[in-house]
Amino acid sequence: MSVRIDKWLWAARFFKTRSVAQQAVEGGKVRVNGERVKPAKDLRVGDELAIQIGNAEWLIRVEQLSDKRGPATVARTLYAEDEASRIRREEQAALRKFAADPAQDIHGRPTKRERRQLDRWRDH
């Protein structure tokens, strides 16, 4: 049995919709056995995937095939993540938690007061 990679990624709950999974594969965010592939590529048990979602990179091995999306507990049985990959992802998440991006606090356009402060800062 073989399953399209975009269907499998959706069923394994890496992406919310099949179209998002398809765009990720087309955009080179997913590699199968180290190679860039097309969304219609047939996936087999034992294939190794490198999936980049935002800042996180998953290195996994396909354990089971499925083209049906089920509960998250079932989805986790479809793959086995590399131990080094899991540790690296957790470290990155901890760093993001403690070192928040300063731009996250900015919402919308600057107020008149903030604009004046920016102008003063640029002039000096």
- pLDDT, tens digit, 9 for 90 and up, residues 13-38: 999 999 999 999 999 999 999 999 99
In a domain, 116, yes or no: no
When pLDDT is cut at 50, 70 and 90, the band that residue 97 belongs to is confident
CATH of the domain at 37: 3.10.290.10
Cβ proximity of 101 and 88 under 8 Å: no
Q: Indicate the SS3 state at residue 46.
A: coil
Q: 34-38, 76-80, 84-88, 105-109: which has the minimum mean pLDDT?
A: 105-109
Asked, for residue 52, whether it belongs to a domain, the answer is yes
123 domain-assigned: no
Q: What's the domain range around 83?
A: 3-101
Q: Does some domain include residue 32?
A: yes
pLDDT of residue 54: 85
**Gap between the Cα atoms of 26 and 39, Å rounded:** 7
Q: Give the model's confidence band at 64: pLDDT under 50 very low, under 70 low, under 90 confident, else very high.
A: very high
Number of folded domains in the chain? 1
Predicted model pTM: 0.76
